[in-house]
Structure 1
């Protein structure tokens, strides 16, 4: 029996994420902003400020969870065959390429072009939470499409981190990281070790060496997922399933809300500096809220017309379009990318986060608007047909 996403868990996670986002926004824009900054930048955990401890260490567990979900989808789920994977993968590629192109077009010839990776991601927890708000108006088949889309998005984002956010790589620590990974893989494949503590402990050692190698340490979560046994060598649940059972509550209820709290304290005071960064702001906003739905819908539609992919049964393109609007919510991964890209400039990070928050709001508004228009047109059509039937009876 494979691990299944829990609806209540996703909704609660989204609620907590929203709550801590609003708390951070309110405190950061009040007279207590000094306290917020002291909590985030002043408190030390293992010699790291709180924001670094969460973004670099706790997010390791988030990425491990993402890695396990990707692995499960590749082995057993919607990415396990070309037929199953082709439609959402094409949609995801469109949802990455078009936002990146929109961002680059708006920020062409500026110092912000390296931020192209910020609007390419979809936040799984947030997007699923919004999906359930509108679930009565969207084809249920679209949920699976959204989940697969977000998983592929995460995979692409991880590849971007691995390629573009490595500098001055320390080869000795890279070699040590690979040795640790090899030990974990051998323990799985040859010695059939099924002890969760063994893999977590090995993963923390792996995290430490990856951090020292100057590759972003959260990548170690994905590497660790590779070594986790996906099937049980004895009867019962596999280590992958057991680990997901433990990680999902931890990441959904603790890591993601904490991440939201330390990264959402955006100053809403628009000053002169903001106007010099408008292109960065609108590149992210339009990339996520416009580029995502445009890329996902156009790529899936064109490739379907060319008969290169086939949509799942009972999934219509109106539902694909609504899901693509929800996919414009890139909160967690987009903020993570923002911190990686512009770590050297607080004002740029603040502008990016403001754009990401704005795109979340705009995506929800656009989804609501198109659902209203669709329902209004159906209601209007129904009324006209009823009038015609009544006229026919009287005549």
Structure 2
């Protein structure tokens, strides 16, 4: 919808609204509406991602080296190969900074495609995809925290860490009659932590990650289940609208930035090659007691799903080319097209594999 409206007469009015600034009195926070969405609303998305990370790393499918090794190797391939593909096409001085963009996997979209088209697939495929997508997210979070921090204010950041520690302590006090006042205090402390991190030069979404990782396990699980529908139904669509609000350039394909073509190729091709090849190697070196090896075609399906970048790739595109609006907009278009190609490719492969499994079960 954002892409559609950006290319209609409504463009100027909506662009003016998104560029309007809203300041928080008494603080350093003075952001445009678009940045309140990408730095504020998206922090809630990363908070929920971190809650899931915490669960998987402590009690789920990544809580031991034995469980994590195979998806970790596949995830490494799904990061390294897209980077290589990107730099081969857009390694010039103007566009090389976009290399992190095609490394991301959108868990929500990938699992959604798997749920719609994968009826009959063994649960091991979903577990493998979820594990590698989560590892993908960890790397994406590191990229955002390390590569895109600017004018770092260590005092502000350390104060943010203190606020996160207070949030962790409060989350362990959520019991009995004190639940409501403690929960209110947690929300206020969480907002303070976000504001301090945002003011420190570290991207504000990292505050959401830190808060999610330190929350006590039981309330973390309850919070994730409460917030996930809101994040998927409201936060992500709003962010997608704002991020995709770009004008399609009226130029020939040969005049488009190398960044556009690099992302369009690296997401579907780089991801599927990297995950499939590294995943195949991982299945050959399984540690003792690891889950049975997945067939190569199932790993191929996971690779196609891994190319659906959307949310994190869109954020990385905005960050990588923040100083060049023309390349940034073309990179965003590359993310949308590359993710769409991956989505269609994944739907075809996953559907074919699911039909095969259903036939085999019917014969058995």
Query: After superposition, what is the alpha-carbon deviation per residue over 1:98-122, rounded to whole angstroms, capped at 9, x for unaligned?
Result: 1111111222233211111100000
**Corresponding residue to 1:143 among 126, 130, 136:** 126
5 Å-filtered alignment, 1:138-287, equals 138-187=121-170, 195-230=182-217, 238-271=218-251, 275-287=254-266
- Relative distance call for 1:261 and 1:267 in structure 2 (3 A) is same
Cα offsets for 1:66-114 (capped at 9, x unmatched): 1110001011100111111111111111111111111112222332111
Contiguous gaps of at least 5 residues in structure 2: 25-29, 358-364
After superposition, the C-alpha distances for 1:184-228 in whole angstroms (9 at most, x for unaligned) are 334456998863333222111111111111111110111112321
Which of 116, 130, 134 is the equivalent residue of 2:99?
A: 116
Provide the residue aligned with 1:74 in structure 2.
Answer: 57
**Counterpart of 1:48 in 2: which secondary structure?**
strand
Report matched runs for 1:351-370 at 5 Å. Answer: 351-370=330-349
CA distance in 2, matches of 1:309, 1:328: 30
The residue aligned with 1:25 is: 3
The 3-state SS of whatever aligns with 2:317 is: helix
Give the 3 Å change call, closer, same or farther, for CA 290–138 of structure 1 in structure 2.
farther
Corresponding position of 1:37: 15
Give the drift of 1:327. Answer: 1.1
Q: How much is the aligned-residue C-alpha RMSD, in angstroms?
A: 2.7
**Cα deviation, residue 29, structure 1:** 1.5
Structure 1's unaligned 5+ residue stretches are 1-22, 231-237, 379-395
The number of equivalent residue pairs is 348
Superposition TM-score, scaled by structure 2 size: 0.87
In 2, Cα distance between equivalents of 1:375 and 1:248 = 27
Please name the residue that 2:296 is paired with. 317
The answer as to whether partners of 2:280 and 2:299 remain within 8 angstroms in 1 is: no
Return the index of the structure with the highest Cα Rg: 1
Shift of 1:305: 2.4
Aligned to 1:335: 314
Q: Any conservation in 2 of the 1:167–1:214 contact (CA below 8 Å)?
A: yes
Contact 1:141–1:314 at 8 Å: present in 2 too? no
Cα distance, 1:123–1:375 mapped onto 2, change above 3 Å? closer
> Structure 1 length normalisation: TM-score?
0.81
Bigger Cα displacement from structure 2, 130-139 vs 252-261: 130-139
Is the CA contact (8 Å cut-off) linking 2:95 and 2:259 kept in structure 1?
yes
2:70/2:286 contact within 8 Å kept: no
Question: Is residue 86–residue 309 contact of structure 1 (8 Å, CA) maintained in 2?
Answer: no
Aligned to 2:282: 303
Deviation for aligned residue 1:307: 4.4
Question: Residue 54 of structure 1 aligns with which residue?
Answer: 37
Contact 1:119 1:288 in 2 (8 A): yes
